Copies of this chain bind each other. A is one copy, B any other.
Amino acid sequence: MANKYVYSFDEGKKDMRSLLGGKGANLGEMTSIGLSVPQGFTITTEACIRFFDENEQLWDELLKEVEQHMEELEGKTGKKFSDINNPLLVSVRSGAVISMPGMMDTILNLGLNDESVKGLATLTGNEKFAYDSYRRFIQMFSDVAMEIPKVRFDMLLEGVKEERGVQDDMDLSADDFKKLVEEFKAVYKDEKGEDFPQNPTDQLRLAIKAVFASWQNPRARVYRNLHGIAHDLGTAVNIQSMVFGNMGKDCGTGVAFTRNPATGENKLFGEYLIDAQGEDVVAGIRTPEDIATLKENMPEVYDEFVKGTEILENHYKDMQDIEFTIEKGKLYFLQTRDGKRTAHAAIKVAVDLVEEKFITKEQAIMRVNPDDLNQLLHPAFDTADLDKATKLAKGLAASPGAATGQIYFNAEDLVEAKENGAETCILVRQETSPEDIEGMIAAEGILTARGGMTSHAAVVARGMGKCCVAGCNEIDVNEAAKTMKVGDTVLTEGDFISLDGGTGTVYEGKIDKADPELGGDFHTFMEWVDEMRTMGVRANADTPVDIKQALEFGAEGVGLTRTEHMFFNLERLPSVRKMILAKDNAERIKSLEELLIVQRNDFQELYRTVRERPMTVRLLDPPLHEFLPHGEKDKEEVAKMMNIDLSELEVRMNSLYEVNPMLGHRGCRLAVTYPEIYKMQARAIIEAALNVAKEENIAIVPEIMIPLIGHIDELKYVKSQVVDEINAVFEERNETMKYLLGTMIEVPRAALTSDEIATEAEFFSFGTNDLTQMGFGFSRDDAGKFLSEYVEKRIFDCDPFQKIDQKGIGKLMEMSVELGRKTRPDIKLGICGEHGGEPTSVEFCHRLGLTYVSCSPYRVPIAKLAAAQAALR
């Protein structure tokens, strides 16, 4: 038997999506559940695939099948495709398996020609409608199927409107449209070298070919690349008899959602236009009316529509986005699909649907896109206010949220301004460095001209849940002059700007914003998420404030405490610098004794906050020169404090200079050279844990993490120093406690030799930032410049610093997990890189079987949801 390539709507079902495309399957489904749907049929995706196999030609059997279905359609509608008196008009639409906005879409009114347009005029008694329909068809057919630039038609239409002095297309007369039809046909002939096709069968054949061919157009390919959709799926073609909402006052067209897509409220939401075609609603020339008013205007139609929406929502068990048309008082459903919604609505709808017993908790969890939660967790601009705002520039959306404030060009000025009463300030820098930390804390938002998604500004801002736009190349920051320039606009200290960290947009002036509210639905939803999820979720947090925030968002512990962030604190920096610049060991040990006291206090505070939950503390990681003074003034101060000449200070500073600091003297390498640093830190951690455990009568199991391990002998060396110091503490105090000692896996060699590393490490935590840097061989500080080009040129699907590169970096992780478990089957495995809060990466970690992911406090709910979805998949 020959293959069946064409399905009538009454043969289609919603689960035939891969054969009929999303639209075709839903039209079939609506038909089969008895809704009023204009009759039609679908040519399958398999036909599309065969079309490409046969050099983009349609074959006879297919044309015959289409002809049979056209005849059937003629029978059902009582119209004839080539009847000039009562013509059957159809729409032709593409319909892929996965919705693809980049593709060819719709041709309406196909079947019209110079003769049948007259028949249509007579039949409807509406010449204007008939010629308007014909000119629309010519334009759409030419544009969509024949690739004639739309602008050529638009210019003619605008010309006539100007001539007539009207604004609305509908104010033109039948004669105007007649004239336009002639002019449009002339354009067609000019472009294609032949007359506009008059035979409806030819029109249909060309339209089908055009829809098929559009599957491979460049926009569509780009879209598929971007969304990881396979190129060999093909598209279906839907051919449907036309219904007209624009035949008079008893006609209309509209769009409605079964629930409010912004709030999730369970109340019909939508709008419609009387005497209009679908495109008019979208075009926004006339203001549509609220769907509720349809009740008064056409009560019967309204009741039927409401019944239909209820049937559809019951049937699809999700909020539906429905298109409909009313032709001479008769309601037709043209399309239904799951409605797009805000994160707020998504959660409310999901929770409501579970409570209404439409769906299970599991289904509810799968319905919410983890990334969308970002909207909920950060403040956002008022939409109305945003529309009026002037865009200044666009940078990287480095940390979500919205910020409005006065600009300051260095941390000191900003802090001073705040102290003098400035309400909200924004820190604007070429790029930030650890010295800016106090300014970043005081700022509402951060804007940098340089640096990528994982630059200092971006990482720190995300950790703080603070809005940040980074790497905004368009602005020219002059820190000395305290000005920023964008094009011709120059802003000076104290001027207001606004940042949208979710889009990377920088606006001039103030914009109102609203703080996020996490309602009861959110908490109910997150409870279900916690039920389903099997992987742990911790937060990266360096301060009691961070930890509190993380716990509020549901973190189960701390996956990464960076001790260096304590070092950057302005009060401690002098001791840190004295330690680094010490001329000898004795001097260094003296400074370390000062630091021991403050670090122990820090850790005590942290343990009092995190209590019995696990907390992984990473020993000092960054190269020491990061802590050194930058400006001349700073240097002088430090020299004075150290009691040495400026020139001597510079000699000592220069000896720390590195060509590639990222690959330099940092992490555990510091502890090889200066074992006393890690010893001090280990002592501070254990003493703090012992103190708090006693004081609060709780059980604490410190997790101490050694960074940048690449070789087992390196770990052995450093570990033995740490263990000796801890044993010394136990002996001095005649106390003991259980603790864990583990490593970061962030150096490729550590991943490759994890079987060896696991002999000494009780846990691994993947540092996927560094693993990505070293695995790809690019520095996150520098890659910003060319990585965007890589993404633009489609060399990379996405920035590997945002989503784990599963093929390459993921392979290292996989090897490490496998080798690590071979040596130590019960090894604790986590991730504390930036990827720990990114949904596809979280899913990957789940598949690897990690014990937990750790991310910035603000991404904890996102990571949890992604983990739950991964567990359900």
Say whether B711 contacts A808, CB under 8 Å: yes
Give the number of copies in the complex.
2
A775 cross-chain contacts in B, Cβ below 8 A: 710, 747-749, 752, 774
Closest to A431 in B: B659
Say whether B710 contacts A664, CB under 8 Å: no
Contacting residue for A777 out of B659, B710, B795, CB 8 A: B710
Assembled-state Cα–Cα distance A711/B663 (Å): 21
A770 cross-chain contacts in B, Cβ below 8 A: 777
Interface-forming stretch among A162-170, A732-740, A784-792?
A784-792
A residues 764-802 near B (Cβ < 8 Å) are 770, 773-779, 781-783, 785-786, 789-790, 793-796
A783 cross-chain contacts in B, Cβ below 8 A: 663-664
Say whether B660 contacts A777, CB under 8 Å: no
A714 contacts partner chain B, Cβ-Cβ < 8 Å: yes
Say whether A663 contacts B752, CB under 8 Å: no
Say whether B663 contacts A663, CB under 8 Å: yes
Shortest beta-carbon distance, A844 to chain B, in Å? Answer: 15
Shortest beta-carbon distance, A717 to chain B, in Å? Answer: 5
A805 contacts partner chain B, Cβ-Cβ < 8 Å: yes
A664 cross-chain contacts in B, Cβ below 8 A: 778-779, 782-783
* A672 touching B774 in the complex, CB below 8 Å, given contacts A713-B795, A714-B795, A795-B711: no
Could you tell me how many residues of chain A have their Cβ less than 8 Å away from some Cβ of chain B? 49
Say whether B752 contacts A812, CB under 8 Å: yes
A residues 374-429 near B (Cβ < 8 Å) are none
Say whether A710 contacts B795, CB under 8 Å: no
A711 cross-chain contacts in B, Cβ below 8 A: 776, 795-796, 808
Determine which residue in A669, A781, A786, A793 has the highest number of CB atoms from chain B within 10 A of its CB, and name it.
A669
Assembled-state Cα–Cα distance A110/B714 (Å): 45
A600 contacts partner chain B, Cβ-Cβ < 8 Å: no
Say whether B753 contacts A710, CB under 8 Å: no
Shortest beta-carbon distance, A729 to chain B, in Å? Answer: 24
A357 contacts partner chain B, Cβ-Cβ < 8 Å: no
Shortest beta-carbon distance, A106 to chain B, in Å? Answer: 34
Say whether B717 contacts A807, CB under 8 Å: no
Q: What are the interface flags for A527-543 relative to B under an 8 Å C-beta threshold, 1 for contact and 0 otherwise?
A: 00000000000000000
A748 cross-chain contacts in B, Cβ below 8 A: 748, 774-777, 808, 812
A665 contacts partner chain B, Cβ-Cβ < 8 Å: yes
A673 contacts partner chain B, Cβ-Cβ < 8 Å: yes
Say whether A808 contacts B778, CB under 8 Å: no
Assembled-state Cα–Cα distance A121/B770 (Å): 76
Shortest beta-carbon distance, A258 to chain B, in Å? Answer: 42
Q: What are the interface flags for A811-838 relative to B under an 8 Å C-beta threshold, 1 for contact and 0 otherwise?
A: 1100000000000000000000000000
* A805 touching B749 in the complex, CB below 8 Å, given contacts A779-B664, A790-B672: yes
A661 contacts partner chain B, Cβ-Cβ < 8 Å: yes
A233 contacts partner chain B, Cβ-Cβ < 8 Å: no
A741 contacts partner chain B, Cβ-Cβ < 8 Å: no
A773 cross-chain contacts in B, Cβ below 8 A: 663
Say whether B660 contacts A779, CB under 8 Å: yes
* A662 touching B663 in the complex, CB below 8 Å, given contacts A673-B789, A786-B672: yes
A92 contacts partner chain B, Cβ-Cβ < 8 Å: no
A residues 665-719 near B (Cβ < 8 Å) are 665, 669, 672-673, 708, 710-711, 713-714, 717
Contacting residue for A782 out of B660, B753, B790, CB 8 A: B660
A672 cross-chain contacts in B, Cβ below 8 A: 786, 789-790, 793, 795
* A752 touching B808 in the complex, CB below 8 Å, given contacts A777-B747, A793-B717, A795-B711: yes
Assembled-state Cα–Cα distance A789/B748 (Å): 22
Closest to A807 in B: B753
Say whether A777 contacts B808, CB under 8 Å: no
Which 8 A-B residue pairings sit nearest by Cβ, starting from the closest? A660-B779, A663-B779, A749-B808, A659-B781, A664-B782, A747-B777, A660-B660, A660-B662
Can you list 19 A-B contacts (CB < 8 A)?
A658-B779, A659-B661, A660-B661, A660-B779, A660-B781, A662-B663, A663-B782, A663-B783, A664-B783, A711-B776, A711-B795, A713-B794, A748-B774, A748-B775, A748-B776, A748-B812, A749-B805, A749-B808, A752-B775
Given contacts A710-B778, A746-B777, A749-B777, 7 further A-B contacts (CB under 8 A): A658-B781, A660-B663, A662-B779, A665-B782, A672-B793, A673-B789, A747-B777
**Interface positions of A (Cβ within 8 A of B):** 658-665, 669, 672-673, 708, 710-711, 713-714, 717, 746-749, 752-753, 756, 770, 773-779, 781-783, 785-786, 789-790, 793-796, 805, 807-809, 811-812
